[in-house]
Amino acid sequence: MKTGILAIFTCQGLTKEKYEQLRKEVVWETNQPRGGVFHAASFDQSGNAHVADVWESPETMGAFVEERLMPAMKKFNIQPPKVEVYPVHNVNAYKSISEHILK
């Protein structure tokens, strides 16, 4: 990857159940977004989601957020996330990654 961005999404009140609603609505695993490279999600004990995405560019991330993610978030009355974006320096995916992918 020549360039890219790391986007950190913090979603207050986005529980695992609401995240699963988004997954089913947006279907990003089977209808992968153009420019998406990597996605990982986690939840803290307060019920907030923390997502790390790697994208080919800010433009490809912006298109996904605007065209697919935000309409689904509005549909389920989920507050927009706080987003921090940084240039990518290095990305690694190890062989064991397949063990952690939700099916």
The pair of three-digit structure tokens given for residue 67, joined into one six-digit string: 């065209």
Residue 96 within any structural domain of the chain = no
Residue 92 within any structural domain of the chain = no
CATH of the domain at 31: 3.30.70.100
The pair of three-digit structure tokens given for residue 64, joined into one six-digit string: 């996904």
pLDDT at 2: 67
Q: What is the pTM of this model?
A: 0.86
Instruction: State the DSSP H helix or E strand holding residue 54, giving kind and residue range, or none if neither.
Output: strand 49-55
pLDDT at 95: 80
Q: What confidence tier does 99 reach under pLDDT thresholds 50, 70, 90?
A: confident
The DSSP string of 10-42 is: EETT--HHHHHHHHHHH-TTTSPPTTEEEEEEE
Containing structural domain, residue 76:
5-87
Q: Give the tens place of pLDDT for each residue, 1-51.
A: 567 999 999 999 999 999 999 999 999 989 999 999 999 999 999 889 999
